[in-house]
């Protein structure tokens, strides 16, 4: 998602002095411009989609990307922005990125689950990736065929395909409706204004951004420190599957703090972008990717468990879904291990 | 199983010179005596078993223990023993230890699977053990109740209980029959002779044992070096479950080389005992325990998969068995990781 530039250990020369609200305004203007560009691209490619063109996945991703960055910056640097405007904008931006993310999430989840079914059937789909490597879904890979699956695995795959394709179709309709709604047009209008005129408070242009960025970083550090990282650092601790057969309908409250750290890590990264430009710390990137994988595996495991509750499925299908659920919960555990490794590697450098 | 003495880094003072066939004869006599003692104990406790005494589990274990050691020594130091006698004895000893092991194996497997079902249901059964700690079955623990299991987990537990208790009862009858058979009496007679008179070759008393012990160690080192230890050393490599949903009826040929190293490790340990007395290297002990765990988890996973093939089970039962199977295959992976860690810790010290 973010560009993978290596970060210099010292702040960029031009940024040596205090960074003020002016930098925030510049960042917000750039992100707003990016949003409008992606929206235009999305509409253009959408117009030709009927003629067999590639669906505007990249445009939707770029829309989400800038919506998240604007929303995150409004949150982190709240005191520097007009309160009314900022309070009004944030839930609208969350709605936009959430609505646009859903279709892609269904698609990625299905792909992840079908690839896992293939891996579990002994078919070599993709080579393991690197050191802590587990097989991750490759977004551009062709959909695997079901030639060498057992009956249970094939039926489980067909069931998941049906359920997640339905969910994806619904998400697609919802997103289309949203993009055509007056609510969305109001957001787009607001962002068009933002692209030229950022509603800073009078004091903002001379206010140092660093204390607010530091506060975002501290929230991240505190939340990460509260995670069970010692356990996560011991491989095969069998924690993630502990509630795999719990009678509790929401059996994985243990995932929530990790999801929360994922969001805080993102806010920290965006604050760094405001202060230092688009230079991404590879360590933060690795930690963020581990938490993305954690979230994806957690949701895929839930989808497998959910599919197993479909009435009148064959025992072989249920068995395959049980294996698949456990496999994805182990992916959750593997992602926690990977996060712990990248997080403990070195202290967070002072932004 | 073996006593946990710390091993001095240098050979014991009294053993400084070359160790010859005399030491082998002494070892075999001691193990034969041990076998006869355990047999007497087994018969005595068996005689009062009808009066409610504890089943002679320890006696059976001691019988197996010495039978394995005699058999292993006959194999490793074959050239020093009368060939005819040695060739005749080894399959008989394998039959004895195999027959006696089966009942205990069924019991331990059931205990492991029921404990795993409890852990997967979120019930705290036993605390995780140490660093690479996963919850291991505690042989002396009371059988866990099914109070807080889901319907699927409870039914899976009941099904496994039924199937493994039946297997255990059969194994018990087979062992009882075996112990009363003329075949067993012939083995016991042979071991009674061995306790006083070891059939060494004429050259054996002056032959150095070390080259044969070294050959056993080399076989172990070669077999261990051929294991996929690099993969095993990367946590969460997802290898052990790769064939979890394979249509192949014997889906885990990948386990066989590990089982083989387990046997070679045991032969190496016994050869060390002959040469150096009952001093056990803690590193070898840890490696051996990891491979025992590997074998146990592999067989428990197979039992869960087998139970899932029972006709007319409910989907919820099949789902729970799928989760359980995957959980035990991850235990297999965890055991490989643990073996790799203890094996790579330092080179095998020269025996």
Beta bridge partners of B208: B20
ipTM rounded to 2 decimals? 0.84
User: How far is A291 from A298, CA to CA, in rounded Å?
Assistant: 10
pTM of the complete model: 0.85
Q: Identify the residue among A241, A303, A317, A318 best suited for mutation to test binding to B, counting B beta carbons within 10 A and taking the highest.
A: A318
A121/B243 Cβ within 8 A: yes
Check residue B52 and give its pLDDT. Answer: 42
CA-nearest of B269, B332, B275, B278 to B301 is B332
Closest residue, chain B, to A133 (C-alpha): B237
**Is residue B68's pLDDT more than 70?**
yes
**Is residue B10's pLDDT more than 60?**
no
Count of C-beta atoms within a 10 Å radius of residue A277: 15
CA-nearest of B257, B289, B269 to B75 is B269
User: How far is A296 from A126, CA to CA, in rounded Å?
Assistant: 18
User: How far is A242 from B201, CA to CA, in rounded Å?
Assistant: 58
Residues of chain B with pLDDT > 90, as a percent, come to 71
Q: Identify the residue among A319, A332, A336 best suited for mutation to test binding to B, counting B beta carbons within 10 A and taking the highest.
A: A319
Structure tokens at A71: 């929303």
B115 chain-A contacts, CB cut-off 8 A = none
CA-nearest of A158, A246, A333 to B124 is A246
Tracing tokens 């274990």 back to the chain, one arrives at B61
- B157/chain A closest Cα distance in angstroms: 12
B337/A236 Cβ within 8 A: yes
- More confident position, A277 or A317: A317
Which ranges of chain B would DSSP assign to H, the alpha helix? 21-48, 57-76, 83-120, 151-180, 182-194, 210-225, 229-233, 256-276, 282-308, 315-344
DSSP line for A59-71: HHHHHHHHHHHHH
Q: Write out pLDDT tens, residues A185-233.
A: 999 999 999 999 999 999 999 999 999 999 999 999 999 999 999 999 9
Beta strands in chain A (DSSP E): none
CA-nearest of B50, B52, B47, B88 to B71 is B88
Check residue A22 and give its pLDDT. Answer: 94
Distances (CA, A) of A265 to A136, A217, A224: 22, 8, 9
Q: Shortest CB distance from B234 goes to which of A133, A153, A320? A: A133
Check residue B345 and give its pLDDT. Answer: 78
A237/B235 Cβ within 8 A: no
Check residue A297 and give its pLDDT. Answer: 97
What is the arithmetic mean of pLDDT over B43-66? Answer: 71
What is the arithmetic mean of pLDDT over B170-196? Answer: 95
Check residue B129 and give its pLDDT. Answer: 38
Q: Write out pLDDT tens, residues B208-258.
A: 999 999 999 999 999 999 999 999 999 999 889 887 787 665 657 899 999
Beta bridge partners of A54: none
If residue A155 lies in a helix (H) or strand (E), which one and from where to where? helix A151-180
What is the maximum alpha-carbon separation in chain B? 67
> Which contacts of A144-148 are long-range, i.e. CB under 8 A and separated by 24 or more positions?
A144/A114, A144/A115, A144/A118, A148/A121, A148/A122, A148/A123, A148/B247
B245 chain-A contacts, CB cut-off 8 A = 117, 120-122, 149-150, 152-153, 320, 323
**Is residue B22's pLDDT more than 50?**
yes
What is the arithmetic mean of pLDDT over B281-290? Answer: 93
If residue A223 lies in a helix (H) or strand (E), which one and from where to where? helix A210-225
- More confident position, B44 or B161: B161
A334/B330 Cβ within 8 A: no
Beta bridge partners of A20: A208
* Contacting residues for B113 by C-beta, under 8 A, at least 6 apart: B157, B160, B164, B300, B303, B304, B324, B328
B322/A322 Cβ within 8 A: yes
Q: Shortest CB distance from A318 goes to which of B131, B319, B334? A: B319
The DSSP code for B204 is: G
What is the arithmetic mean of pLDDT over A42-68? Answer: 73
The DSSP code for A254 is: G
Helix axes A256-276, A21-49, angle to 10 degrees: 110
Check residue B5 and give its pLDDT. Answer: 40
Q: How many CB pairs (< 8 A) connect A and B?
A: 172
> Taking the alpha carbons of A181, A186, A192, A194 in that order, is the dihedral positive or negative?
negative
A318/B323 Cβ within 8 A: no
A121 chain-B contacts, CB cut-off 8 A = 243, 245-247
């Amino acid at each position: 998602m973010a560009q993978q530039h290596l970060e210099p250990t010292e702040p960029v020369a031009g940024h040596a002095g205090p960074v003020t609200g002016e930098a925030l305004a510049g960042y917000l203007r750039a992100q707003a411009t990016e949003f409008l560009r992606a929206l235009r691209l999305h509409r253009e490619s959408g117009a030709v989609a009927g003629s067999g063109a590639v669906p505007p996945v990249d445009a939707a991703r770029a829309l989400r990307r800038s919506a998240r960055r604007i929303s995150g910056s409004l949150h982190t640097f709240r005191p520097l922005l007009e309160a009314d405007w900022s309070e009004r904008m944030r839930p609208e931006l969350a709605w936009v990125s959430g609505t646009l993310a859903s279709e892609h999430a269904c698609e990625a989840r299905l792909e992840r689950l079908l690839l896992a079914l293939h891996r579990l059937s002994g078919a070599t789909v993709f080579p393991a990736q690197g050191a802590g490597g587990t097989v991750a879904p490759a977004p551009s890979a062709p959909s695997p065929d079901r030639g060498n699956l057992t009956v249970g695995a094939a039926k489980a795959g067909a069931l998941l395909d049906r359920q997640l394709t339905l969910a994806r179709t619904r998400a697609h309709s919802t997103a289309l409706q949203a993009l055509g709604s007056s609510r969305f047009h109001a957001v787009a209008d607001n962002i068009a204004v933002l692209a030229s005129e950022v509603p800073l408070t009078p004091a903002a242009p001379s206010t140092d951004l660093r204390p607010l960025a530091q506060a975002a970083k501290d929230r991240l550090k505190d939340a990460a420190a509260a995670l069970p990282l010692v356990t996560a650092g011991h491989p095969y601790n069998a924690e993630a599957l502990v509630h795999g057969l719990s009678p509790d309908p929401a059996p994985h409250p243990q995932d929530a703090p990790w999801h929360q750290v994922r969001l805080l890590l993102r806010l920290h990264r965006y604050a760094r972008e405001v202060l230092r430009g688009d230079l991404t710390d590879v360590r933060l990137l690795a930690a963020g990717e581990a938490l993305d994988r954690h979230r994806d595996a957690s949701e895929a495991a839930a989808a497998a468990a959910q599919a197993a509750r479909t009435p009148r499925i064959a025992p072989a299908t249920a068995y395959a879904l049980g294996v698949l659920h456990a496999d994805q919960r182990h992916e959750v555990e593997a992602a926690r291990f990977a996060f712990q490794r990248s997080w403990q590697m070195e202290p967070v450098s002072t932004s």
